């Protein structure tokens, strides 16, 4: 099995309360750890998952590694 790390945000929040600032935080974490992993999996509530995925697709354009958003 490949190595992986679980990074959990505290406090946990309901996805319906997410803001663009939260999306920026996720994108910044991915960029900060880009060289350490072959891809990224984001576990997310379903209320705003589509919004988060869309925002990240623009923030991480041309990333070169997969980012999976799932709930």
Please pick, among 5, 19, 46, 48, the residue that the annotation labels catalytic: 46
Q: Is 46 among the annotated ligand-binding positions?
A: yes
Q: Is 15 among the annotated ligand-binding positions?
A: yes
* Measured distance CA(53)–CA(49) in Å, rounded: 6
* Measured distance CA(37)–CA(31) in Å, rounded: 11
Known catalytic membership, residue 46 = yes
Residues 69 and 42: beta-carbon distance below 8 Å: yes
Q: Is 22 among the annotated ligand-binding positions?
A: no
> Which residues are known binding-site members?
15, 46-47
> Which residues are known binding-site members for substrate?
15, 46-47
Active site residues per annotation: 46
């Amino acid at each position: 099995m490949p190595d992986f790390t679980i990074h959990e945000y505290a406090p946990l929040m309901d996805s319906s309360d997410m803001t663009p600032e939260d999306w920026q935080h996720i994108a910044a974490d991915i960029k900060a750890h880009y060289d350490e992993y072959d891809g990224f999996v984001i576990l997310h509530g379903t209320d705003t998952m589509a919004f988060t995925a869309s925002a990240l697709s623009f923030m991480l354009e041309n990333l070169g590694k997969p980012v999976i958003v799932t709930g």
